[in-house]
Amino acid sequence: MKSEKVKLGLIGLGTVGTGVVKVLKDYDNIEIKKIAVKNINKKRDIENLAPSILTTDPFEIVNDPEIDIVVEVIGGTDPAFELLKTAINNKKHIVTANKELLAKKGQELFNLANEKNVTILYEAAIAGGIPIIMPIKTTLAGNKIHKIEAILNGTTNYILTKMEKDNVSYEEVLKEAQKLGYAETDPTGDVEGFDSAYKIATLATIALNQRVDINKIYKEGITKISANDMQFAKELGYKIKLIALAKLTDDNKADVRVHPMLVPQKDCLASINGVTNSVVLEGFPVGRVMFAGPGAGMFPTASSVLGDILAIVSGIGSDNLLPFMKCNHTKNAQQISIEQTTNRYYISITANNNPGVIGTIGKICGNHNINLASVLQKGIDKENTARIIIITEESIEENINNAIDELKNNSSIVKINNLIRVME
Amino acid sequence: MKSEKVKLGLIGLGTVGTGVVKVLKDYDNIEIKKIAVKNINKKRDIENLAPSILTTDPFEIVNDPEIDIVVEVIGGTDPAFELLKTAINNKKHIVTANKELLAKKGQELFNLANEKNVTILYEAAIAGGIPIIMPIKTTLAGNKIHKIEAILNGTTNYILTKMEKDNVSYEEVLKEAQKLGYAETDPTGDVEGFDSAYKIATLATIALNQRVDINKIYKEGITKISANDMQFAKELGYKIKLIALAKLTDDNKADVRVHPMLVPQKDCLASINGVTNSVVLEGFPVGRVMFAGPGAGMFPTASSVLGDILAIVSGIGSDNLLPFMKCNHTKNAQQISIEQTTNRYYISITANNNPGVIGTIGKICGNHNINLASVLQKGIDKENTARIIIITEESIEENINNAIDELKNNSSIVKINNLIRVME
């Protein structure tokens, strides 16, 4: 460790950046030398912020020879990618909370960091304040992790929790969440699963020890979940959650995806409510471990950024990078497509109220090697149609798609309302 | 990092030791040079175990100049304390799963380790396979942790889960747990809270950053919890768990204790069932984070031992200990007594079925500054007594004790059946 102060450059002074400045004020051995902002004149909720350290040019930071660590909290790939590339080329260590950048450009950045013998730490990018990346790299370092089940997006978990609790529609809850600031005006990034997909791409890369390609991650959001689905799931003993999933198949391929799932009520992920995030890892020798906590917010995110900064500060000055500072996944994952995956399925069907319609559904499923685990018939409506909910045994998704096609073409079937995968 | 093999001596080859040998076989850079066992001729479930590395004299290991790391998994203080003292004096790093030793002799061992510039890592001693010590030392390093609520003993959690689920008595479940090997023939260490107390002593020391004295930890087991208590708790929206608790009071004193608690059903700790362990930390800036997983067992424990070994191996050869390898709590905690703590309370009372008995109870509580949050009266029995369950608002334990004394002396009160603290 150097005896003089470690010098830090901060890119971004929004919510997370402000949190980082606030928590760093207690550290005499760390100096924030420069902060890049959009608007230098904006009033900010930070005591004793010297205007002289603000700049509107982030390249001043990444090119400053005195700066040891660059902390990037602006998000997005542009200009973050260019900035971090420059910083790494200038042999600076990186701490970032930028999940989109890591998912899209992680491989290039990590390769460059290896070449330049610097580190990129990113605890804050995945699951906010929850310690998850460092435990995987340290305590769990001897494990072969074969499964991750996670709730990585607070906005969608808030919406789903509220839909279930108050028995209201997605649209209603979204409006309320937007008013409360839990959802953005354009909520696409959250509700369509982009945010979760970015995070699971990076988390799966480190946990499965294979480079996962964000472009090959199947992604489905929560906008099609109805209040009815919520209630039927509840009756059947489940909650609906947006799950980021990664597992190794028996032949060591990677099955990585984001979509809603029916989670058994007794599973610990079912009790993760509101904006909380959670990550469940399964591996050998550890078995199944769970982490939960705040997935976002000024201080939880700053906690993780601070942990990474302190880790780098502790390693600065030694000749070699510490093992947890290395980023060396040379193997690209062989990712399977969603059609190749195996799941249990919840299928909500509107059917004509003919005698034998459940038999018809059962027969069609059987034609495609799909066994039914349970069938729930809900009341007849005024059009004389019935809602039939089936839960299947484990089936190959391709077979499910074929069965759905055949069901759609059957005269007894009015509509397939929804298809949601079910957690084992 | 040295290029030659790191040499390891293992003291103990029971369940955990066997797990450690099994998981280390994949590491070419680590050699198990010697293993100390009680019985050298015992048949063991380990492939290719060279009999020549076994010894019945553990001092051969701690005095072997070639050995870099001593892994101690025998448990208890004698001879573990002497062995580890000798090992540290001989400048060996230590990995231990020995919670009793750490609780009783940790201070002495850590002081000695500091003096000799070696480390003692002990992830496996607290909550088995769950990564908790390393996250506190790394990702959460910048936090001031002010509260720990934990389930640290699998045996008692198994018993309580089973009592609640099957509505049976403690004695019945204990017998079954003993048959299944989940509880020992003499279950005292688990059911009276010793095991949890050892663990919270060490966990609180690292998390609160103050040395906690095991002798000042209040400890109460689960033997007095009745099937009735379980059912009343359920009706009131709680589960009963054996909780290891540590918090900092407003004036920075330490409140550390182990006792059963009514946990609100919506609290994540309420959903920790069976032999699973869980630790909830509250601190700034992170907020509230939770960790859960297997608290014992051959492989989960070996996972944590392995993580510690790999951490030490990564640091061997560098001049300074890495920060997470240092053990420097110089400040002794000022621990408050149980009488000084503040809690909510569940009190189960058998009273004569007089009109106004609830009023009497309310008045006596009022005399001692205790407000009632809820009152539940259960059916009258053949002796014409009623069971009255009260839950109090936050009260000082000393006041509760005085109220209990006054209640006992009141002619309307037949018996105080139980008093259990309630989690906020």
Give B192-248 pLDDT, tens digit per residue: 999 999 999 999 999 999 999 999 999 999 999 999 999 999 999 999 999 999 999
**Complete domains list, chain A, with CATH:** 6-129+298-325 (3.40.50.720), 133-294 (3.30.360.10), 338-422 (3.30.70.260)
Q: Is A162 a catalytic residue?
A: no
Of B2, B19, B131, B153, nearest in space to B66 by CA: B2
> Mean per-residue pLDDT for B331-343?
97
For the whole prediction, is pTM greater than 0.90? yes
* pLDDT tens-digit readout, A129-154: 999 999 999 999 999 999 999 999 99
> Mean per-residue pLDDT for B358-367?
96
pLDDT for B275: 94
pLDDT for A203: 98
Q: Is B369 near chain A, with CB under 8 Å?
A: no
Helices A357-367 and A397-408, axial angle in degrees (round to 10): 140
Task: Kindly tell me if the per-residue pLDDT of B319 is higher than 70.
Answer: no
Task: Kindly tell me if the per-residue pLDDT of A379 is higher than 80.
Answer: no
Of A333, A365, A40, A372, nearest in space to A206 by CA: A333
> Mean per-residue pLDDT for A201-215?
96
With cut-offs at 50, 70 and 90, classify the pLDDT of residue B271: very high
DSSP 8-state symbol, B32: E
| Identity of the residue in B131, B143, B273 whose CB atom sits nearest the CB atom of A303 | B143
Phi, psi of A351 (to 5 degrees): -130, 155
Which residue of chain A comes nearest to B23, CA vs CA?
Answer: A285
Task: Kindly tell me if the per-residue pLDDT of B406 is higher than 90.
Answer: yes
Q: Could you give the 3-state DSSP secondary structure of residue A12?
A: coil
Compute the nearest-CA separation of B162 from chain A (Å). Answer: 15
Compute the nearest-CA separation of B300 from chain A (Å). Answer: 4
pLDDT for B1: 44
Determine how many CB atoms are found less than 10 A away from the CB of residue B192.
17
> Mean per-residue pLDDT for A298-317?
93
Q: Could you give the 3-state DSSP secondary structure of residue B392?
A: strand
With cut-offs at 50, 70 and 90, classify the pLDDT of residue B327: confident
> Mean per-residue pLDDT for A186-214?
97
Compute the nearest-CA separation of A352 from chain B (Å). Answer: 41
DSSP 8-state symbol, A332: B
With cut-offs at 50, 70 and 90, classify the pLDDT of residue B4: confident
Task: Kindly tell me if the per-residue pLDDT of B359 is higher than 70.
Answer: yes
- Among B residues 232-291, those touching chain A with beta carbons less than 8 Å apart: 266, 268, 271-273, 284-291
Of B195, B204, B203, nearest in space to B75 by CA: B195
With cut-offs at 50, 70 and 90, classify the pLDDT of residue B355: confident
- Average per-residue pLDDT for chain A: 95
Task: Kindly tell me if the per-residue pLDDT of B2 is higher than 50.
Answer: no
Please answer whether residues A236 and A391 qualify as being in contact, where contact means their C-beta atoms are separated by less than 8 angstroms: yes
Relative to beta strand B120-121, strand B93-96 is: parallel
Of B108, B72, B70, B74, nearest in space to B91 by CA: B70
* pLDDT tens-digit readout, A11-70: 999 999 999 999 999 999 999 999 999 999 999 999 989 999 999 999 999 999 999 999
Compute the nearest-CA separation of B211 from chain A (Å). Answer: 23
In angstroms, rounded to a whole number, what is the distance separating the alpha carbons of residues A83 and A79? 6
pLDDT for A382: 82
Q: Is A322 near chain B, with CB under 8 Å?
A: yes
| Identity of the residue in B123, B143, B268 whose CB atom sits nearest the CB atom of A292 | B268
Contact: B307, A129; criterion CB under 8 Å = no
Task: Kindly tell me if the per-residue pLDDT of B122 is higher than 60.
Answer: yes
With cut-offs at 50, 70 and 90, classify the pLDDT of residue A3: low
Element (H, E) at B296: none
- Among B residues 69-98, those touching chain A with beta carbons less than 8 Å apart: none
With cut-offs at 50, 70 and 90, classify the pLDDT of residue A381: confident
Task: Kindly tell me if the per-residue pLDDT of A319 is higher than 70.
Answer: no
Residues A81, A86, A91, A97, CA torsion sign: negative
CA B122 from centre of chain: 13
With cut-offs at 50, 70 and 90, classify the pLDDT of residue A2: very low
With cut-offs at 50, 70 and 90, classify the pLDDT of residue A182: confident
Which residue of chain A comes nearest to B136, CA vs CA?
Answer: A131
pLDDT for A1: 43
- Among B residues 132-171, those touching chain A with beta carbons less than 8 Å apart: 133-135, 138-143
pLDDT for B3: 54
CA A6 from centre of chain: 32
Phi, psi of B335 (to 5 degrees): -95, 135
> Mean per-residue pLDDT for B314-322?
75
**A297 Cβ contact partners less than 8 Å away, ≥ 6 residues apart:** A15, A128, A129, B287
Q: Could you give the 3-state DSSP secondary structure of residue A104?
A: helix
pLDDT for A323: 73
Task: Kindly tell me if the per-residue pLDDT of A322 is higher than 80.
Answer: no
